[in-house]
Amino acid sequence: MAIYQLSEKTIEQIYAGWLGKIIGIRLGAPVENWTAEKIAEVYGEIWDYPVDYNIFAADDDSNGPVFFVRSLKDSGHGAELTAQDVADALLNYAPCEHGFFWWGGYGVSTEHTAYLNLQKGIPAPLSGSILKNGSTMAEQIGGQIFIDAWGLVAPGNPDLAAKLAKQAASVTHDRNGIYGGIFIAVCISAAFTGCTIREMLDAALSYIPEDSEYARTVREVRAFYEKEVSKDWRAAFRYVKEHFGYDRYPGWCHIIPNAAVIILALLYGEDDFTKTLCIGNMCGWDTDCNVGNLGTIMGIRKGLEGIDYDRWRKPVNDLLLCSGAVGSLNIMDVPYGAVYMAERAFELAGKELLESWRGLVTDRTEKSHFEFPGSTHAMRVRCETNPDAPHPEYHLRNTEETAAGGKRSLRMHAFPLQCGQKVYLYQKTWFEHTELHDDRYQPAFSPKIYPGQQLSAQVRIPEERAAVQACMYVFDHNGKQVYTGETILLNPGVWTKLVFRIPPMEGALLSEAGVQFTVPGNSAGQQDFAAYIDDLEYGGSPDYTIDFAKERELMLPMGHCEITQFTRLKGYSFLEKNALHLTADDCGEIYTGSHLFRNYTVTAVLEPVCGGGHYINVRVQGGLRSYAAGFDERGRLGLWKKECDYRELISIPYEWKYGERYTLTVAVMDNRISVRDEDGRELICYVDKERPYLAGAVGFSVRKAGHLAVHRLRIG
């Protein structure tokens, strides 16, 4: 295979591959676990999304790749990544036994089994091994469905892709479960080079044992294809079903039958994105998994130009919802994941990210740059309702016509509108549970934007249009109110930066952020309206209070209860008498705020109800990384650092009592953490000089079967 050089095209290919993954998941999800016969009976043939999901909720097939790849940066080990590094990412980002993936029980679900092994201190790769779990459990499909990111961060470098995939797959799987992960990751890596399908499959085969069942499956499906004259994929599937069907392999969802479907689709798809994905889908079985892997491979192979925009991309609208433990990470867009993986790819190659992309990589703000062709960053349009006017139509289009920075921007076109009508071009920054079409993986969200932060964007009106009034805005879901920044008159043909420092608020939940335009003119006639947006950005220091009287309990599938604005790692949370309660049989944690918060203070009124430790958590980066300040069972006030387990940093005697309320303020400023009482007296202070956590969300935790009530929460 020719030496591959990272370039501008590489970054676009990563986006195309990651987008292909999301498309494949969405295409396969409605018929997951259906047989080919049932699909044919219900749909005939499927050449488009069989269900209009509107807002497609989280899926395990995207949760795994987008969170596990964070182990590269979190561990700092780069190409020397270990299985335990990936295991730590699993424990850090996956909520305990809810959301994220299928929690089918120990000895039933492979991932659940490995997760519980890890929780009990069984290290990776023993956690996923045949020695520990047996071959049936270790050779299910998960070894390949979560693996795409390891090929995406190793473009044109199959050696590295195979090495990373082996470490990652071994956390939960073994033998054929690992071989499948290696095989798919190498296919993805090789796809960047422009090789043929045959060359790609040959390369992937060279990395797994020749005598393995996985390799035999690949060879025999290929042999059938090469000798079968009609090239009828249905004939091939009959062969696959007879020789590699579910009846031949144990467990809920074995890797081998689904591997056979992937090979079949790659061969019979004739190197066409749509044909390959749809054939894989019509074969049935674990459709979202198989078609997701196919989407990554074919997205890279064919590029953005090979993915039908209206059919596949427009319904996705660049949106990716997740169901991890940190709620602000559960609302992503596809470009975010692509740029994150591109940054890792260049780091692993020992190269600096291209200059044109460096300004788009930020760990301090949320940013939408529109630099990928066709990307929308999940932007939406709505209009002030007018019962006497026709219902407007809205169109969003990525364009090279003009840009404030870089090469591209997003053009919005709306019609028919009336003079004075307000048009909102925005992103959803929080989702109501009822907005989601399918929530089997139980996503919960913390907002992406908060009172006190700064919201900005570059906007422009086309040259031929009239001047327009515009301002930045946010929408408070709890108060059902729009808050706007300064209104600016936009002169046609000129990019103008709008800035809005959101005021401090009490009890708000910001669910939209964007630009409000007022349609110009004073006549009663109808007209159309157009505008461009670029570099939408928000972040900075928050300043707000959560009013628990305005928050609600959300009952998710399987009986799980979540609180609006919060995500729960473990334990049970509920609202009672205008207070947030957290209780657990051993330990529990619940989070809110943004993973991008840096320097801030948290003031909370804590009431220890019963049990052991009761804490405020700050700089929360997941279930394994945060600081906790509060009361322990020894009658002390202290500060702990969680590095997988909690480690005490400092503590002092403090005679706290059950049923009493205590106001504590925890302040984090760079690597200095302090705790003050309600009179402002500093009780403890600590400067962390050992890999300090410099950003993260807010939360509460209990230990030793504790029960904590929180009566007030202010972040500022």
Among 331, 355, 379, the domain-final residue is: 331
pLDDT tens-digit series, residues 383-404: 987 666 667 899 999 999 999 9
User: From CA 486, how far away is CA 496, in angstroms rounded?
Assistant: 13
Tokens encoding 507: 């009890």
pLDDT > 70? residue 59: yes
> Do 99 and 248 reside in the same domain of the chain?
yes
Write the CA distances from 476 to 176, 450, 451, 480, 707, integer angstroms: 50, 10, 10, 5, 31
Contact between residue 79 and residue 160 where contact means Cβ atoms under 8 Å apart: yes
Query: Is 490 within the bounds of a domain?
Result: yes
DSSP 167-231: HHHTTT--THHHHHHHHHHHHHHHHTTT--HHHHHHHHHTTS-TTSHHHHHHHHHHHHHHH-SS-
Structural domain count, the chain: 3
Q: Inter-axis angle of helices 233-244 and 255-268, to 10 degrees? A: 160
> Do 274 and 372 reside in the same domain of the chain?
no
Contact between residue 396 and residue 424 where contact means Cβ atoms under 8 Å apart: no
pLDDT tens-digit series, residues 562-575: 999 999 999 999 99
Average pLDDT over residues 92-111: 96
Contact between residue 324 and residue 94 where contact means Cβ atoms under 8 Å apart: yes
Q: What is the pLDDT of residue 527?
A: 86
Q: Please state the three-class secondary structure of 271-318 as a single string.
A: CCHHHHHHHHHHCEECHHHHHHHHHHHHHHHHCHHHCCHHHHHHHHCC
pLDDT tens-digit series, residues 420-460: 999 999 999 999 988 998 888 999 999 999 999 999 999 99
**Percent of the chain at pLDDT above 90?**
92
In the chain, the N- to C-terminal Cα span, in Å, equals 55
> Do 68 and 157 reside in the same domain of the chain?
yes
Specify the CATH number for the domain of residue 460: 2.60.120.260
> Do 269 and 405 reside in the same domain of the chain?
no
pLDDT > 90? residue 300: yes
Contact between residue 353 and residue 342 where contact means Cβ atoms under 8 Å apart: yes
Q: Please state the three-class secondary structure of 7-64 as a single string.
A: CHHHHHHHHHHHHHHHHHHHHHHHHCCEEHHHHHHHHCCCCCCCCCCCCCCCCHHHHH
Query: Is 347 within the bounds of a domain?
Result: no
pLDDT tens-digit series, residues 532-561: 999 999 999 999 999 999 999 998 777 778
Give the residues across from 686 on adjacent strands. Answer: 673
Average pLDDT over residues 681-702: 98
Specify the CATH number for the domain of residue 38: 1.10.4080.10
267 vs 356, higher pLDDT = 267
Q: What is the pLDDT of residue 196?
A: 97
Q: Cis peptide before 125, with omega less than 30 degrees from 0? A: yes
Tokens encoding 25: 């998941």
Mean pLDDT for the chain overall: 96
User: From CA 115, how far away is CA 280, in angstroms rounded?
Assistant: 30
> Do 271 and 382 reside in the same domain of the chain?
no
Query: Is 649 within the bounds of a domain?
Result: yes
Q: What is the pLDDT of residue 1?
A: 62
> Do 529 and 613 reside in the same domain of the chain?
no
User: From CA 225, how far away is CA 237, in angstroms rounded?
Assistant: 10
Q: Please state the three-class secondary structure of 133-161 as a single string.
A: HCHHHHCECHHHHCCHHHHHCCCCCHHHH
Domain hosting 146: range is 8-331
User: From CA 63, how far away is CA 67, in angstroms rounded?
Assistant: 6
Average pLDDT over residues 335-339: 97
Query: Is 337 within the bounds of a domain?
Result: no
Specify the CATH number for the domain of residue 649: 2.60.120.560
Give residue 530's pLDDT band: very low, low, confident or very high (50, 70, 90): very high
pLDDT > 70? residue 512: yes
Question: Among candidates 67, 262, 66, 74, which has minimal Cα distance to 643?
Answer: 74
> Do 456 and 582 reside in the same domain of the chain?
no
> Do 265 and 396 reside in the same domain of the chain?
no
Query: Is 177 within the bounds of a domain?
Result: yes
> Do 536 and 579 reside in the same domain of the chain?
no
Query: Is 553 within the bounds of a domain?
Result: no
User: From CA 213, how far away is CA 217, in angstroms rounded?
Assistant: 6
Q: Dihedral through CA 177, CA 180, CA 185, CA 187, nearest 10? A: 180
Give the residues across from 19 on adjacent strands. Answer: none
If DSSP codes are grouped into helix, strand and coil, which group holds residue 4? coil
User: From CA 286, how far away is CA 491, in angstroms rounded?
Assistant: 54
User: From CA 23, how far away is CA 277, in angstroms rounded?
Assistant: 9
> Do 505 and 591 reside in the same domain of the chain?
no
Residues 696, 57, 124, 108: is their CA dihedral positive or negative?
Answer: positive
Q: Dihedral through CA 348, CA 350, CA 351, CA 357, nearest 10? A: 30
Residues 469-506, buried b or exposed e (16+ Cβ, 10 A)?
Answer: ebbbbbbbbbeeeebebeebebeeeebeebebebeebe
Query: Is 363 within the bounds of a domain?
Result: no
pLDDT tens-digit series, residues 233-290: 999 999 999 999 999 999 999 999 999 999 999 999 999 999 999 999 999 999 999 9
If DSSP codes are grouped into helix, strand and coil, which group holds residue 261? helix
Contact between residue 444 and residue 472 where contact means Cβ atoms under 8 Å apart: no
> Do 151 and 286 reside in the same domain of the chain?
yes
Reported as half-sphere exposure (CB side, CA atoms, 13 A), residue 326 has a value of: 29
Tokens encoding 329: 């990470």
Average pLDDT over residues 9-23: 98
User: From CA 181, how far away is CA 142, in angstroms rounded?
Assistant: 8
Query: Is 109 within the bounds of a domain?
Result: yes
Average pLDDT over residues 25-30: 98
Q: What is the pLDDT of residue 2?
A: 63
> Do 625 and 689 reside in the same domain of the chain?
yes
Q: What is the pLDDT of residue 391?
A: 77
Average pLDDT over residues 367-395: 88
